[in-house]
């Protein structure tokens, strides 16, 4: 029999705040963190707004500031979220904690490129008259201008490395980058590591930012981003008939997972239990979900089966809900196919309407929402849902939060490339 896995710590750094209770109260109040982009001058871009983390300094969360000098924004977010989860878990107070059985599994994206220095080196090698690049001049300029440290910090595994150093995690460590599904997959795979007995404790979650010229340009070219520049806070409209794409966000979400035996032995406060994990691939297209919703439905069905639950046992779904035409209607279709007649009875919401899409970090943040919904009996709304789409005809908790008795919740993440991952989290009963 495999180990039962529980959550004993949670933390996040988001566009709506830097601590659990502030962010949670803002979500329940239906506040938006979306505004004009300040990370760079986006005035000439089709999308001129985003959901940025504001007034944040990772150094207030770390003990070894020198070891993290020059980290990328994604790593800085991960350090802050992890520090919150670590403190909540109480693991630091353990005197006999076996660090070799303490691991990390992240879903983390690449860091932001060294744009200023890259552009400077690039221009130094450009011959305007010949309209060609002088590689010798470019290399010389790059050698003088570009930072070796910042080059390393662009690597997707850097948040993992810095977390291992900060918290002395000497056990199994992994990073996955399956686009928008990454941190849900990371939590699911960390759960499997603990279930099979390869570790006692795992940090799991994700961190990412793509709010930079390359990120915005790429998603604009894909026509995936909202371009509703007239009203940024109203731009993210999941499940609405007038939705026009998602809004880029940034941040991190981290959870501490433990085997139930380990948590009980040390007397930890248990927040919730991970009981189900499902993963599938659409095997269809790079950017589009399969129009039948079969991949999403498979991941949800696997997670329910893993948890030993029926659709009628689920009291809340944290939707992927990006606000793109195809995603929202396809996710709705998948839920209706799996849940059948019960589908209209299950409240569903998308916090991306308020926080934007945190890409690789989105799933971890949305799982934390499920934990808090179980804790407090409250559901965050889907804001900007004033014009329902006839194809999206389920209960999306429109515009206003709601009280609910949540014993089991399901969290969905569907990534570019066709990766689908779903988690089931339940109230811990002690049985």
Neighbours of 422 (CB within 10 A): 30
Is-catalytic flag, 180? yes
Neighbours of 386 (CB within 10 A): 12
- State the catalytic residue, choosing from 68, 262, 290, 320: 320
Residues in the chain: 431
Rounded to the nearest 10 degrees, the angle between the axes of helix 182-195 and helix 362-376 is 70
CA atoms within 13 A on the CB side of 72: 34
H/E stretch holding 209 reads: strand 201-209
Integer Cα distance of 359 and 256 in angstroms: 21
- State the catalytic residue, choosing from 315, 357, 370, 392: 357
- State the catalytic residue, choosing from 180, 315, 370, 392: 180
Is-catalytic flag, 68? no
119 CB-near residues (< 8 Å, 6+ apart): none
- Do the beta carbons of residue 357 and residue 49 sit within 8 Å? no
H/E stretch holding 272 reads: strand 272-281
- Do the beta carbons of residue 147 and residue 78 sit within 8 Å? no
Integer Cα distance of 160 and 337 in angstroms: 38
Catalytic residue numbers read: 180, 320, 357
């Amino acid at each position: 029999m495999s180990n039962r896995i529980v959550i004993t710590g949670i933390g996040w750094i988001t566009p709506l705040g830097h601590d659990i209770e502030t962010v949670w109260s803002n979500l329940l109040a239906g506040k938006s963190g979306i505004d004009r982009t300040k990370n760079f001058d986006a005035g000439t871009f089709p999308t001129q707004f985003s959901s940025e983390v504001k007034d944040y300094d990772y150094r207030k969360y770390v003990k070894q500031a020198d070891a993290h000098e020059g980290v990328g924004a994604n790593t800085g977010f991960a350090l802050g979220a992890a520090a919150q989860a670590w403190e909540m878990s109480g693991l630091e107070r353990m005197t006999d904690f076996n660090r070799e059985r303490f691991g990390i599994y992240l879903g983390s994206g690449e860091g932001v490129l060294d744009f200023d220095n890259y552009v400077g080196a690039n221009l130094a090698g450009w011959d305007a008259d010949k309209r060609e690049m002088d590689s010798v001049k470019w290399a010389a300029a790059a050698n003088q201008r570009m930072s070796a440290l910042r080059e390393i910090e662009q690597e997707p595994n850097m948040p993992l490395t810095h977390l291992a150093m900060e918290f002395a995690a000497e056990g199994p460590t992994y990073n996955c980058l399956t686009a928008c599904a990454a941190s849900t997959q990371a939590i699911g795979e960390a759960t499997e590591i603990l279930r099979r007995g390869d570790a006692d404790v795992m940090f799991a979650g994700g961190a990412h930012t793509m709010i930079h010229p390359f990120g915005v340009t790429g998603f604009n070219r894909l026509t995936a981003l909202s371009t509703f520049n007239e009203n940024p806070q109203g731009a993210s409209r999941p499940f609405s008939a007038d939705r026009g794409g998602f809004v880029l966000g940034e941040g991190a979400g981290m959870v501490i997972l433990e085997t139930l035996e380990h948590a009980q032995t040390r007397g930890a406060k248990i927040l919730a239990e991970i009981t189900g994990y499902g993963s599938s691939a659409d095997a269809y297209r790079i950017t589009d979900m399969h129009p039948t919703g079969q991949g999403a439905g498979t991941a949800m069905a696997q997670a329910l089966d893993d948890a030993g639950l029926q659709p009628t046992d689920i009291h809340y779904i944290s939707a992927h809900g990006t606000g793109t035409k195809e995603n929202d209607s396809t996710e709705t279709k998948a839920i209706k196919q799996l849940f059948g007649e019960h589908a209209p009875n299950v409240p569903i919401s998308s916090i991306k309407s308020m926080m934007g899409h945190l890409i690789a970090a989105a799933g971890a943040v949305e799982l934390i929402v499920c934990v808090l919904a179980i804790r407090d009996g409250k559901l965050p709304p889907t804001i900007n849902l004033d014009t329902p789409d006839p194809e999206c005809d389920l209960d999306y908790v429109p515009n206003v939060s709601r009280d609910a008795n949540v014993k089991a919740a399901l969290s969905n993440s569907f990534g570019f490339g066709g990766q689908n991952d779903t988690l089931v989290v339940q109230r811990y009963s002690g049985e």
